[in-house]
Amino acid sequence: MSKSLPVMKMSRLYAPTLKEDPAEAELASHRLLLRAGMIRKQAAGLYSYLPLAWRSIQKIEQICREEMDAVGAQEMLAPILTDAALWEESGRIGAYGPELMRLEDRHGRTFCLGPTHEETFTDLVRNELRSYKQLPVTLYHIQDKFRDELRPRFGLMRSREFIMKDAYSFSATQESLSEVYEDMKGAYARYCERCGLKALPVAADSGEIGGDASVEYMALADAGEASLVWCDCGFAADDEAASTTVAVSEGPGDGTLQKVETPGLGTIEAVAAFFGFPENGTRKSLALIDGEGNPVVAIVPGDHELNDIKAAKLFGEYHLMTDEELEEYDLHKGFIGPVNLPQGIRLVCDESLKASTSWTCGANEVDYHFTGAQPGRDFTVDAWEDLVTVKPGDPCPHCGKPLKGGRGIECGQVFQIGPDKYAAKMGATFADENGREQPFYMGCYGIGISRTLAAVVEQHHDEHGIIWPVSVAPYEVSVIALDKKGEAFDAAAEIAAQLAEAGIEVVFDDRAERPGVKFADNDLMGFPYQVVVGKRGIRAGTVEVKDRATGERTDVALSDVVAHLSELVEAGRR
Ligand code: ATP
Ligand code: MG
């Protein structure tokens, strides 16, 4: 038997809705959370969560809490402020840069508003978690974090104060850390699923926090900042980081080297169209100056881009040649190629071109291309390297099937940090079986609670408003009275009371508004189920139940309303 709950009257609810789209909001989540009266901006990147949003946030936190507890993590609460001296100890005070918000106390001592809490937790355990017998230990808390983001934007997506769950694990060995890490990955996947998010675990660069292994949990949405490729076999990666052998087609011709006049055709598109060939059958040549000031020509399949991160790894701080530099090295924009390359220019080609023997490429002469150019025979490649940004449609590096592509919102990230980055630097050690002092093998695990709310809205909305999954909805059901008073109004109040009595979270739209206004507001706020109560229905003994997600309307007998909605809500609670 569920606990009886109070009914929230819409006439009393503090949810100042907006009729118009706020001009500053580009993303659906930002726009709809503002319009539904769920969040308000206080200053750049600082938001209040109004009552509806706060209810959803608390549900997201609770899902997170349950999943953390299920893998043995223990909840606690550390201070938001951290002594800057701890950041000096870890050496991160410089690395974090201006994102770290600092302040001075009355004694002139510097503190940081925690952007993340590795230092705090390492300091917490370093003198009191003493023996291998106590390990592993995982601690977490859910609290506000502060980052003075260069560009706070998109509402809750990238704010300067936001809610994060951060967990820290302390293990005696790498094996133990790996086990904790695997458990956490399971918890993160379940967290996303229970919040109603379609999310992918993506292998990540560990960035500022450091360490060996890291996975980001990416909620798929066009609004995401990350560009991803993935495959049904389970492979997923940031397109910048992914490597695969791109399928390339051979160019036109019979395999002999032919110089063809291509007047004014200085783009891949124009050359492909001229030969009536896919862009993939052409070769794209980019002239650059590497970090040491030396000229390089890099060649990739015509339909792919040179990947900046991979190129920077190979060429250092490189730049594409300016018009003056092109002239200096006797290269002609739009007509650069591997054959007859001027002396002294290094030729680096994408690995996927290695097996191709008939290249269509610039002739190093204005208005001419070659077809049928063959590496080894017609030119010498100095190095074959992985140069391209992987695209949807390229073969999956694991199974070969065509990759899918899309954008992702990072909702969480897990890291295996190991012993060096914090524990060793900050002298956080335990006594091992032989009584020797060893630094902890650490892991850290973050979830953006407030960003999750925005990600859920990105995945669940339509032109009328938000469509909350039941598990994170501010209220599960709204009861809409079509009449302002009288028998139908009283019946609506009664139904709302009965639903609440049965443990369903109910908002009762008792406002003296026209039905159209009520429908629009309820759609905007996105309660999963609406119970519409009107005079005609009541006389016939029925109400209409609308499923916000599908728009489907069902007439339900008054005597069945509670059972019907209990069943629907129970199924969605997860
Ligand atoms: P991003 O790359 O988006 O800046 P991050 O990798 O720096 O994020 P982490 O240090 O991994 O972030 O923090 C853990 C989680 O906190 C992130 O996965 C994200 O969900 C959330 N988060 C980070 N920065 C913000 C922010 N400015 N506003 C809201 N949520 C944030
Ligand atoms: Mg991250």
Pocket lining: 149 vs ligand 1, CB cutoff 6 Å: yes
Please choose from 41, 118, 164 the residue to mutate so as to test ligand 1's pocket, defined by most ligand atoms within 8 A of CB. Answer: 164
Q: Tell me the chain's radius of gyration from C-alpha atoms.
A: 30
Ligand 2 centroid vs 212 CA: distance in angstroms?
A: 14
Q: HEC string of 459-524? A: HCEECCEECCCHHHCCCCEEEEECCCCCHHHHHHHHHHHHHHHCCCCEEEECCCCCHHHHHHHHHH
- 452 touches ligand 1 (CB under 6 Å): no
Q: Does 301 sit behind a cis peptide bond, omega within 30 degrees of 0 on the bond before it?
A: no
Specify whether 199 is located in the same domain as 337.
no
The structural domain count of the chain equals: 3
Do 485 and 545 lie in one domain? The reply is yes
Distance 215 CA to ligand 2 centre (A): 9
The CATH number given to whatever domain includes residue 341 is: 3.90.960.10
Best mutation site among 27, 195, 410 for ligand 1 pocket (most ligand atoms within 8 Å of CB): 410
Q: What is the pLDDT of residue 205?
A: 62
Q: Give the ligand at the shortest distance from the Cα of 164.
A: 1
**Ligand 1 atom at minimal distance to the Cα of residue 160:** 27
Say if ligand 1 is within 6 A of residue 155 CB: no
Q: Is 302 in the pocket of ligand 1 (CB under 6 A)?
A: no
- Could you tell me how far CA 29 lies from the centroid of its own chain? 14
Residue 511 C-alpha to ligand 1 middle, in angstroms? 40
Residues 148 and 62 in one domain: yes
Q: 410 C-alpha vs ligand 1 centroid, how far in Å?
A: 7
Residue 473 CA, ligand 2 centroid: distance in Å: 26
Is there a domain that residue 332 lies in?
yes
**96 plus 238 within the same structural domain:** yes
The residue among 483, 502, 484 whose CA lies nearest residue 543 is 483
Distance CA 412, CA 528 (A): 26
Residues 452, 481: one domain?
no
Inside any domain, residue 172 = yes
Does the residue 415 lie in any domain? Answer: yes
118 CB less than 6 Å from ligand 1?
A: no
Residue nearest to atom 22 of ligand 1 (CA): 448
Give distance in angstroms: CA of 216 to centre of ligand 2: 7
Q: Is residue 277 located within the same domain as residue 302?
A: yes
Residue 295 in any domain: the answer is yes
The pLDDT score that the predictor gives to residue 273 is 93
**Ligand 1 atom at minimum distance from 447 CA:** 15
Ligand 1 lined by 473 (C-beta under 6 Å): no
Nearest alpha carbon, ligand 1 atom 23: 448
Pocket test for ligand 1, best of 39, 116, 200, 413 (most atoms within 8 A of CB): 413
Q: Which of 282, 247, 248 is nearest to 267 (CA)?
A: 282
Whether residues 452 and 496 share a domain: the answer is: no
Q: Which domain holds residue 142?
A: 52-243+405-457
Is the CB–ligand 1 distance for residue 448 below 6 Å? yes
Smallest CA separation from ligand 1 atom 4, residue: 158
Residues 170 and 281 in one domain: no
Q: How does pLDDT run along the chain (574 residues), one tens digit per residue?
A: 578 999 999 999 999 999 999 998 999 999 999 999 999 999 999 999 999 999 999 999 999 999 999 999 999 999 999 999 999 999 999 888 899 999 999 999 999 999 999 999 999 999 899 999 999 999 999 999 999 999 999 999 999 999 999 999 999 999 999 999 999 999 999 999 999 999 999 987 644 444 448 999 999 999 999 999 999 998 898 888 888 888 888 888 888 999 999 999 999 999 999 999 899 999 999 999 999 999 999 999 999 999 999 999 999 999 999 999 999 999 999 999 999 999 999 999 999 999 999 999 999 999 999 999 999 999 999 999 999 999 999 999 999 999 999 999 999 999 999 999 999 999 999 999 999 999 999 999 999 999 999 999 999 999 999 999 999 999 999 999 999 999 999 999 999 999 999 999 999 999 999 999 999 999 999 999 999 999 999 999 999 999 999 999 999 999 999 999 999 999 999 8
CATH number of residue 239's parent domain:
3.30.930.10
- What would the two tokens of residue 414 be? 């897990």
Residue 90 and residue 228 share a domain: yes
Q: Which atom of ligand 1 is nearest to the CA of 446?
A: 14
Nearest CA among 409, 532, 546 for reference residue 464:
546
CA of 291 to the centre of ligand 2 (A): 29
148 in Cβ contact with 160 (< 8 Å): yes
Q: Using N-to-C axis directions, what is the helix angle for 561-573 and 487-501, rounded to 10°? A: 40
Asked if 446 and 374 sit in the same domain, the reply is no
Rounded distance between C-alpha atoms, residue 420 and residue 371, angstroms: 54
Q: Are both 419 and 488 inside the same structural domain?
A: no
CB 491 within 8 A of CB 480: no
Q: What CATH number is attached to the domain comprising 557?
A: 3.40.50.800
Amino acid at 137: V
Distance 181 CA to ligand 2 centre (A): 15
pTM of the model: 0.90
| Whether 274 and 422 share a structural domain | no
Residue nearest to atom 8 of ligand 1 (CA): 410
Q: Work out which ligand 1 atom sits closest to the CA atom of 216.
A: 18
d(CA 20, CA 22) in angstroms, rounded, equals 6
116 Cβ closer than 6 Å to some ligand 1 atom? yes
User: In which residue are the tokens 């020509």 written?
Assistant: 297
- What is the pLDDT at residue 239? 87
Domain assignment of residue 45, yes or no? no
Residue 252 in domain:
no
In a domain, 497, yes or no: yes
Q: Which atom of ligand 1 is nearest to the CA of 448?
A: 20
In a domain, 215, yes or no: yes
Burial zone of 409 (CB within 10 Å; 0-12 exposed, 13-18 middle, 19+ buried): buried
